[in-house]
Chain A
Amino acid sequence: MTNHGAVLTALADPTRRAIFERLALEPRAVGELAAELPVSRPAVSQHLKVLKAAGLVSDHAAGTRRVYAVDPEGLAALRQYFEQFWRQSLAAFQAAAHQPPEEER
Chain B
Amino acid sequence: MNTEVEATSVSTAIDVEASAEHAFRVFTEGIGSWWNPDHHILEGELAEMVFEPRVGGHLIDRATDGSECRWGRVLAYDPPHRVCFSWDITPRWTVEPDPGKASEVEVTFTPVGAGRTRVVLTHRHLDRHGDGWEGMRDSVGSGWSLTRYAEVATRR
Q: Is B a genuine binding partner of A?
A: yes
1/0 per position for A61-82, CB-CB distance to B under 8 A? 0000000011111111111111
Supply 7 further A-B pairs (C-beta < 8 A) apart from A7-B153, A54-B152, A94-B15.
A11-B92, A55-B153, A56-B149, A74-B134, A93-B27, A95-B34, A98-B16
Q: Which residue of A lies closest to B35 (CB)?
A: A89
Interface residues on chain B, number (Cβ under 8 Å):
60
Q: Which residues of A contact B22 (CB under 8 A)?
A: 97, 101
Chain B residues close to A by CB (< 8 Å): 1, 3, 5, 7-10, 12, 14-18, 22-23, 25-27, 30, 33-36, 38-39, 41, 43, 91-94, 119, 121, 123, 126-127, 129-130, 133-134, 136-137, 139-156
Complexed CA–CA distance, A97 and B34 (Å):
9
Known: A81-B150, A93-B27. A86 touches B10 (CB 8 A): yes
Complexed CA–CA distance, A18 and B27 (Å):
33
Contact B133 A78 (CB under 8 A): yes
Residue A88 is within 8 A (CB to CB) of chain B in the complex: yes
Checking B23, B43, B93, B129 against A8 with a beta-carbon cut-off of 8 angstroms, the contacting residue is: B93
Q: Which residues of A contact B8 (CB under 8 A)?
A: 75
Q: Which residues of B contact A80 (CB under 8 A)?
A: 147, 150, 154
Smallest Cβ distance from B137 to chain A, in angstroms? 5
Chain A residues touching B, majority SS? helix
Interface residues on chain A, number (Cβ under 8 Å):
57
Complexed CA–CA distance, A76 and B156 (Å):
20
Smallest Cβ distance from A52 to chain B, in angstroms? 10
Chain B residues touching A, majority SS? mixed
Q: Which residue of B lies closest to A7 (CB)?
A: B153
Known: A70-B146, A75-B130, A77-B145. A93 touches B156 (CB 8 A): no
Contact A17 B153 (CB under 8 A): no
Q: Which residues of A contact B39 (CB under 8 A)?
A: 8, 85, 89
Complexed CA–CA distance, A81 and B40 (Å):
15
Smallest Cβ distance from A36 to chain B, in angstroms? 16
Contact A71 B146 (CB under 8 A): yes
Q: Which residues of B contact A84 (CB under 8 A)?
A: 150, 153-154
